[in-house]
């Protein structure tokens, strides 16, 4: 029942894209691993109250100290590297959106059919294709996070960071600044409008029209 609380628009456990799915899978694997280790510790604790056993020191150091750590840590490290590498942006000509963080809002600049389209606190993405966020900051460190699409990426003054996001299907998702950045941090939220790829240019044109008002 507690897991019901893990659902919702800002939950990394209800993924809506491939990177978020990988991250959620890793989260569940780590939860299972932590559960297994907790159970093992409880078993060892229970055994400690039983009669003394003859366990050689080498068995402790090699078996539990090295063997168990290797069994747990090597797959976890491997999975972490694999997932991490898969969600990195790469030079494959993917769409890019410039993301500029300002105390306390987000400015998104999309490449529209008639030039750049700037939106405030609203990111527009085409469904089913990778889009690279090119992230900068005007003042302090912020962090771009759309939990249902992927991990966080810091927006750091004087630096450009990249984060690849991909959404499965059209819909409205939500994002939030994930690095405390001052009194307005809690309200530094934004919407992610995911549209069918064939409607992407129309959505940008509409957003550009809205900006002129
Ligand atoms: Cu913030």
> Does the pLDDT value for residue 162 go beyond 50?
yes
Question: Which pLDDT score, from 0 to 100, does residue 143 have?
Answer: 97
Confidence of residue 5 (pLDDT cuts 50, 70, 90): low
Give the Å distance between the CA of 182 and the centre of ligand 1: 7
Give the Å distance between the CA of 35 and the centre of ligand 1: 32
> What mean pLDDT do residues 59-67 have?
83
Give the Å distance between the CA of 123 and the centre of ligand 1: 17
CA pair distance 175, 151, nearest whole angstrom: 11
Average pLDDT, the chain: 89
pLDDT of 120-148, one tens digit each? 999 999 999 999 999 999 999 999 999 99
Give the Å distance between the CA of 200 and the centre of ligand 1: 28
CA pair distance 192, 136, nearest whole angstrom: 18
Helix (H, G, I), strand (E, B) or coil at 45: helix
Give the Å distance between the CA of 78 and the centre of ligand 1: 31
CA pair distance 213, 209, nearest whole angstrom: 7
> What mean pLDDT do residues 143-155 have?
94
- Whole-model pTM? 0.81
Which run of H or of E encompasses 50? none
By DSSP bridging, strand 122-126 and strand 189-195 are parallel
Residue of 59 and 196 predicted with greater confidence: 196
> Does the pLDDT value for residue 53 go beyond 90?
no
Domain segments of the chain as ranges: 12-86, 95-212
Give the Å distance between the CA of 122 and the centre of ligand 1: 16
Residues lying with their CB under 5 A of ligand 1, a single-atom ion = 142, 177, 181, 185, 188
Question: Which pLDDT score, from 0 to 100, does residue 213 have?
Answer: 45
Does the 95-212 domain belong in CATH 1.10.645.10? no
Give the Å distance between the CA of 87 and the centre of ligand 1: 23
């Amino acid at each position: 029942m507690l897991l019901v609380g893990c659902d919702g628009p800002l939950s990394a456990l209800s993924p809506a894209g491939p990177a978020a799915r990988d991250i959620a899978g890793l989260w569940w694997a780590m939860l299972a691993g932590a559960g297994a280790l907790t159970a093992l510790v409880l078993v060892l604790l229970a055994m400690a109250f039983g009669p003394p056993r003859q366990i050689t020191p080498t068995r402790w150091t090699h078996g539990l100290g090295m063997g168990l750590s290797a069994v747990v840590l090597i797959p976890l490290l491997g999975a972490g590297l694999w997932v991490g590498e898969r969600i990195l942006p790469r030079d494959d000509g993917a769409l890019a959106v410039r993301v500029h963080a300002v105390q306390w809002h987000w400015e998104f600049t999309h490449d529209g059919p008639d030039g750049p389209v700037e939106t405030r606190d609203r990111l527009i993405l085409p469904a089913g294709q990778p889009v690279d966020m090119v992230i900068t900051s005007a003042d302090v460190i912020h962090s771009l996070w759309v939990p249902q699409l992927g991990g966080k990426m810091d927006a750091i003054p004087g630096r450009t960071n990249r984060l690849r996001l991909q959404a499965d299907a059209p819909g409205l998702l939500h994002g939030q600044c994930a690095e405390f950045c001052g009194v307005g941090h809690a309200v530094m939220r934004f919407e992610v409008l995911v549209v069918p790829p064939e409607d992407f240019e129309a959505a940008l044109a509409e957003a550009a029209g809205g900006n002129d008002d």
